[in-house]
Amino acid sequence: MTVVETAGNRLRWLLRGLGQLLITAGVVVLLFCVYELKVTNLYTEQQQKTLDTQLAREWAAPPPSPVGKPGQVHLAAFDDGAGIARIYLPTLGRDQVHVVVEGVTHEDLKKGPGHYPGTAVPGAVGNMVVSGHRTTYGAPFNRLDELHPGDAVVLETRTFFYTYRVTGTTIVSPDALGETDPVPNHPGQVATQRLLTLTTCNPKYSARTRLVVRALLEAPLAKGKGVVPPALQGR
């Protein structure tokens, strides 16, 4: 065997090995994408079904205390990861309804959009903050960037529907904690409005920044037989 033939065999061996390595890497990447985009969605879908069933059962039972006024909701009895409300994004489609859980840890957000502990509760004066995944784990806030001023966001609790109207969107850094203040970015200032803040990663498939959608309470509506807020009529 000549020197040229030996060098050629080595080159073919290297190219064959490189090709096999690239194929293996491609399979690994493909499996990872399937897991991230499909398996996590199936997990969250099952969690949402369970949470929705639990909410329906709890809400059908007699309330543990008097109904009270709009915004008088107490979350102390809820464990982290427990369902506390339903959120509707009707302008984005009939399927855009999710159970909001208490907490924003990784485990909480795997179940659905999470209520930021310590922020306002549905309908209350202050700033209720809800965070959710934009991709993976059901991607509840995947289309959050499609909300525009005037669009409705509805929160449903045991006794009330709360219709909020979007006032604007902004892009902030991931560490912009002022967005969770009772008066956003004004620490120490006393709140007078009833705000809802929705946050998610931005852009899609990246956590480089945060997309923030702000909404203002338009009206509470006491629940009753056949009662449906205007924003959800026709669903």
Q: pLDDT tens digit string along 184-210?
A: 999 999 999 999 999 999 998 888 999
Q: Show the domain range for 166.
A: 47-232
- Sign (positive/negative) of CA torsion 65, 67, 72, 73? positive
> What are the pLDDT digits (tens) for 16-63?
666 655 554 443 334 444 445 568 999 999 999 999 999 999 999 886
Q: Which ranges of the chain would DSSP assign to H, the alpha helix?
A: 3-34, 40-60, 106-109
Among residues 106, 99, 133, 131, the alpha carbon closest in space to that of 116 is found at 131
In a domain, 36, yes or no: no
In a domain, 22, yes or no: no
- Quote the pLDDT of residue 78: 73
Q: How far apart are CA 91 and CA 26, in angstroms?
A: 38
* Average pLDDT score, the chain: 85
Dmax over CA atoms of the chain, in Å, equals 94
- HSE-CB at 77 with a 13 A cutoff on CA atoms is 7
CATH code for the domain in which residue 120 is found:
2.40.260.10
Residue tagged 């080159």 (tokens): 11
Exposure string of 175-194, with b = 16+ CB inside 10 Å and e = fewer, is ebeebbbbbbeeeeeebeeb
In a domain, 31, yes or no: no
- The two three-digit tokens of residue 139, written as one number: 């991607």
CA 108 from centroid of its chain's CA atoms = 10
In a domain, 26, yes or no: no
Q: How many domains does the chain have?
A: 1
38 vs 126, more confident: 126
Please list the residues that pair with 209 across neighbouring strands: 202
Q: How far apart are CA 137 and CA 113, in angstroms?
A: 10
Q: How far apart are CA 19 and CA 11, in angstroms?
A: 12
Cα end-to-end span (Å), the chain:
78
- The two three-digit tokens of residue 4, written as one number: 């040229």
Contact 130, 196 (CB under 8 A): yes
- Quote the pLDDT of residue 70: 55
In a domain, 28, yes or no: no
> Residue 81: which residues within 8 A CB-CB, separation 6 or more?
101, 102, 103, 107, 108, 111
In a domain, 25, yes or no: no
> What are the pLDDT digits (tens) for 60-118?
988 665 555 555 554 445 788 999 999 999 999 999 999 999 999 999 999 999 999 99
In a domain, 86, yes or no: yes
Q: How far apart are CA 161 and CA 223, in angstroms?
A: 7
* Amino acid (one-letter) located at 97: V
Upstream peptide bond of 70 is cis (omega within 30 degrees of 0): no
